[in-house]
Amino acid sequence: MDIRAILTKRASLWEEAKKFFDEHSKDGLMSEEDAATYDKMNADIDNMTANIKRLERHAKIGAELDKPFNSPITEQLDAGFDSKTGRASKEYKAAMLDAMRTNFKSVRNELKESVDASGGYLVPDEWDTRLIDTLAEENIMRRLGTIITTSGEHKINITANKPAAVWVAEGAALTFGNATFAQKSLDAHKLHVAIKVTNELLYDNAFNLENYILDQFGKAIGNAEEDAFLNGDGSGKPTGLFTTAALAANNPIETTGAALVGNDIIDLAYALKRPYRRNAAFIVNDATLATIRKLKDQNQAYLWQPSYQAGEPDRLFGYPVYTSAYAPLAASGTAFLAFGDFSYYNIGDRGTRSVRELRELFAGNDMTGFLMLERVDALLVLPEAVKVLKLK
């Protein structure tokens, strides 16, 4: 079954679930048998949603792998000519692959030119792009935020106060306001991931070992990054959207009661300034969607709207909704739902990621370790661009 058919089937099942809930829920109560039936419908919707995401990711990977590795030659060139130099050259990439396949026992001069300060081998440009693609699939904040490549401490200028217009009577003295500015800085926090590989696997290389290592690195780093982008306290890691400092800056909205209701979502949406609502979206934990799906507005219309098109996110109150396993769960006194323009969440990548080989550390086990390091920082540069909802 293709994605379009599953999307249609999921939308149809959602309409049936809404109708069933309306018909069998009296005074907010539902019999045990009806509740089990309704929960089964929601479970089927969740399974379809997960399958849609898997098919979309499968199609994206397939399209990426189907791309040609080289551009066609359109004019006669010298057979030995390579327009790219340094780490982007074909010679460097071939040398890097050959070094990994031979357990770094065959190292050419091109690799020595790019050894970092610790003796690690830098990732070729083509590989770094593939890693970024993997992060984008696993990490919604890298998709929604603004990515900046930095070479040092990156300072962002922000308008703190703007001049205000004031009415003045004829002949009265003019008043002069002040325009003030502020700065926020993106530094660099170190994040690493390491795996061990048997030397038999390195020697035989029965499958594409390079893609396997990059995929594992990408998933591990993507998960760690997303956790920090949402919950990081800024100490040795980025500052997240749901941390204490971020909440103090953007004045969280509190629910009217101990349970989430539809009006709370509406209050959250309109607490955000109108200009930011143009590109706004929701971020919420997957587990919270089960509650949100039952919410209605004052016209008894469901706020949650499933997507009918492949690649398009589901919508809540008409705005895209993105789910993350690292978003906080709805609990008393906890901020659990974010709404805003997340392009104001800036992610600063410091330099280039590096790969290192650890041969001696695991020599006794006849294994080789591979280590990847990156330095990254992130923060919400304009707090008023995002509002969060806290459960009372």
pLDDT per residue rounded down to tens, the chain (392 residues): 678 888 888 888 888 888 888 888 777 678 888 888 888 888 888 888 888 888 887 777 777 666 665 555 555 545 555 566 666 677 767 767 776 666 555 544 443 434 443 334 444 545 555 555 556 556 788 888 888 877 766 666 665 555 566 677 776 776 665 655 565 667 788 888 888 888 777 776 656 676 677 777 778 888 888 899 898 888 888 888 887 655 665 567 788 888 888 888 888 888 888 989 999 999 998 888 888 888 877 777 787 888 777 777 888 888 998 988 888 888 888 888 899 999 988 888 887 777 777 888 877 888 888 888 888 888 888 888 899 888 88
Spatial separation of the C-alpha atoms in residues 62 and 139, rounded to whole Å: 19
Residue whose token pair is 């590795």: 69
User: Which 3 state secondary structure label does DSSP give 386?
Assistant: strand
Question: What is the separation, in whole angstroms, between the first and last Cα of the chain?
Answer: 43
User: Which 3 state secondary structure label does DSSP give 8?
Assistant: helix
Q: What is the pLDDT of residue 280?
A: 92
Spatial separation of the C-alpha atoms in residues 88 and 95, rounded to whole Å: 12
Spatial separation of the C-alpha atoms in residues 323 and 52, rounded to whole Å: 14
Q: What is the pLDDT of residue 297?
A: 73
Q: What is the pLDDT of residue 109?
A: 45
Structure pTM?
Answer: 0.64
Closest CA to 185 of 43, 385, 381: 381
Residue whose token pair is 């019999």: 31
Element (H, E) at 130: helix 125-138
